[in-house]
Amino acid sequence: MPNLTMIEAVNLAMASEMRRDAEVVVLGEDIGRNGGVFRATLGLLDEFGPDRVIDTPLAETLVAAMAIGLSTQGIKAVAEIQFSGFLYPCVDQVVNHATRYRNRTRGRLTCPMVIRAPNSGGIHAPEHHSESLETTFAHMPGLRVVSPSSPTRAYGLLLAAIRDPDPVIFLEPTRLYRLFKQPVEDTGEALPLDTCFIDREGTDITLVSWGAMMHDTRLVADRLAEEGISAEVVDIATLKPLDMDTILESVAKTGRCVIVSESPRAGGWASEVAANLAEHGLLTLFAPVMRVAGYDTVMPLAKQERVYIPDVDRILREVRKVFDIAPK
Just list the catalytic residues. 129
Tell how strand 53-55 and strand 205-209 pair up. unpaired
Distance of alpha carbon 6 from alpha carbon 20, whole angstroms: 21
Given a contact cutoff of 8 angstroms between Cβ atoms, the answer to whether 259 and 281 are in contact is no
Best CA proximity match to 291, nearest among 325, 324, 319, 255 = 319
Given a contact cutoff of 8 angstroms between Cβ atoms, the answer to whether 27 and 66 are in contact is yes
Given a contact cutoff of 8 angstroms between Cβ atoms, the answer to whether 169 and 144 are in contact is yes
Given a contact cutoff of 8 angstroms between Cβ atoms, the answer to whether 259 and 285 are in contact is no
**What sign does the dihedral 241-245-250-252 (CA atoms) show?**
positive
Q: Report the Cα 328 to chain-centroid distance in Å.
A: 32
Given a contact cutoff of 8 angstroms between Cβ atoms, the answer to whether 52 and 26 are in contact is yes
Q: Give CB contacts under 8 A, 24+ apart, made by 186-191.
A: 186/12, 186/16, 186/155, 188/16, 188/17, 188/20, 188/159, 189/156, 189/159, 190/156, 190/157, 190/159, 190/160, 190/163, 191/153, 191/156, 191/157, 191/159, 191/160, 191/237
Given a contact cutoff of 8 angstroms between Cβ atoms, the answer to whether 84 and 171 are in contact is yes
Distance of alpha carbon 176 from alpha carbon 212, whole angstroms: 6
Work out the end-to-end distance of the chain between its first and last CA atoms, rounded to an integer number of angstroms: 41
